[in-house]
């Protein structure tokens, strides 16, 4: 027994052996326990399936020809709920081994002939334990990386949220606006049949779509009278500023197109890039409808909120010019058939 291997079983590796011959189980028990492994031997293959279902094992030694079911059937059942168990198949003779395609299909890691000596089996077990140790190490590293990434992501989110709240604090209109745009975008995305991952992107993109207003002077942002051309030009910089703020964080790459292009128009007359039609990122086209809807239904210093009938007419009129026609139509259907959901969002913010 190699010195290095002897320490491995002490680390808690657990082996289950399944063979309907009691003599084989007894011999394996003596041999493997002497080697330091945590060992369980079972003669009933159906009982073994239940043990594996309810108990953790790292490696299984499995006889092929058994009653009432053969080893391949045992593996088929186990693979329905456990894809990770390392399985070594024992055969009384090479000719009795299952076909190679069966071994591959069931993800059986190895097999060997039964023998009075366990040298070959021990080598396969040692090799299996090394593989299991590597898989466990990789899982541990991946989990640690995942935890670290989640903490970093949370830190970035909190930082950008702080910026968003700073914008909202100095611009009364923005307060609640980003939350509503986020919710409307998700509602529209659901109507369009988008995936949960896409809906998450829309939600975050809506929350941060106006983050670039942090770079717009208060004198312009809070001005109650009509903006001059120069002041309006500065307002139009906020999508580019927002995209720049988010560009250094990998986790925000998916929402940058929303932030940068939610003021583009379908006919190419929007800003900042004058993109046209399908050139405009799809999520930005969705956010554009949500953003404009909230602007029309929000009270401003210079006008009251528009009635829902006027809003519908405006969205219809701007379909194909300001808005993607398919997205505009989907939102009109929401306003027609699910307006209660719109009201719920408005009441929340």
The pair phi, psi for residue 79, each rounded to 5°, is -70, -15
Dihedral sign, CA of 242, 248, 252, 256?
Answer: positive
**pLDDT above 90 (res 223):** no
The β-bridge relationship of strands 14-18 and 59-63 is parallel
Instruction: Please state the separation of Cα 187 from the chain's center in Å.
Output: 20
SS3 228: coil
Q: Are 14 and 57 in contact (CB under 8 A)?
A: yes
Calculate ∠ Cα 49-53-55, nearest 5°. 110
Among residues 213, 223, 226, 274, which one is catalytic?
213
**pLDDT above 50 (res 38):** yes
Computed over every residue of the chain, the mean pLDDT equals: 87
- pLDDT band per the 50, 70, 90 thresholds, residue 8: very low
Residue 180 CA neighbour count, 13 Å, CB half: 24
pLDDT one-digit tens code per residue, 74-128: 999 999 999 889 999 888 766 666 677 777 788 888 878 777 777 788 888 888 8
For this structure, is 213 an active site residue? yes
- Please report the pLDDT score of residue 182 as a whole number: 95
In order of start, what are the domains of the chain with their CATH numbers?
A: 3-141 (3.40.50.2300), 171-348 (1.10.3210.10)
């Amino acid at each position: 027994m190699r010195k290095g291997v002897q320490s491995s079983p002490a680390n808690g590796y657990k082996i289950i052996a399944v063979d309907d011959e009691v003599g084989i189980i007894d011999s394996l028990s003596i041999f493997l326990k002497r080697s330091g492994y945590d060992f369980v031997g079972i003669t009933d293959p159906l009982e073994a399936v239940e043990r594996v279902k309810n108990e953790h094992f790292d490696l299984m030694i499995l006889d092929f020809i058994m009653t009432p079911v053969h080893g391949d059937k045992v593996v088929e059942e186990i693979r329905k709920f456990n894809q990770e168990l390392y399985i070594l198949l024992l055969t009384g003779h090479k000719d009795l081994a299952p076909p190679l395609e069966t071994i591959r299909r069931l993800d059986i890691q190895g097999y060997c002939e039964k023998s009075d000596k366990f040298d070959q089996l021990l080598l396969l077990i040692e090799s299996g334990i090394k593989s299991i140790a590597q898989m466990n190490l990789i899982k541990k590293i991946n989990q640690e990386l995942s935890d670290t990434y989640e903490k970093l992501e949370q830190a970035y989110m909190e930082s950008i949220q702080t910026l968003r709240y700073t914008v909202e604090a100095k611009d009364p209109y923005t307060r609640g606006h980003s939350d509503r745009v986020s919710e409307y975008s998700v509602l529209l995305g659901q109507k369009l049949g988008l995936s949960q991952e896409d809906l998450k992107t829309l939600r975050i993109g809506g929350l941060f779509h106006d983050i670039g207003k942090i770079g717009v002077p208060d004198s312009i942002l809070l001005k109650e009278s009509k903006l001059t051309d120069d002041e309006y030009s500065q307002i139009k910089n906020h999508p580019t500023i927002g995209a720049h703020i988010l560009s250094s964080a990998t986790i925000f790459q998916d929402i940058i197109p929303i932030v940068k292009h939610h003021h583009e128009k379908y006919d190419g007359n929007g800003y900042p890039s004058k993109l046209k039609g399908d050139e405009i990122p799809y999520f930005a086209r969705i956010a554009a409808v949500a953003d404009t809807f909230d602007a029309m239904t929000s009270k401003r210093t210079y006008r009251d909120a528009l009635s829902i009938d006027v809003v519908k007419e405006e969205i219809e009129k701007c379909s194909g010019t300001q808005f993607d026609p398919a997205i505009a139509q989907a939102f009109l259907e929401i306003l027609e058939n699910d307006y209660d959901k719109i009201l719920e969002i408005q009441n929340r913010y």
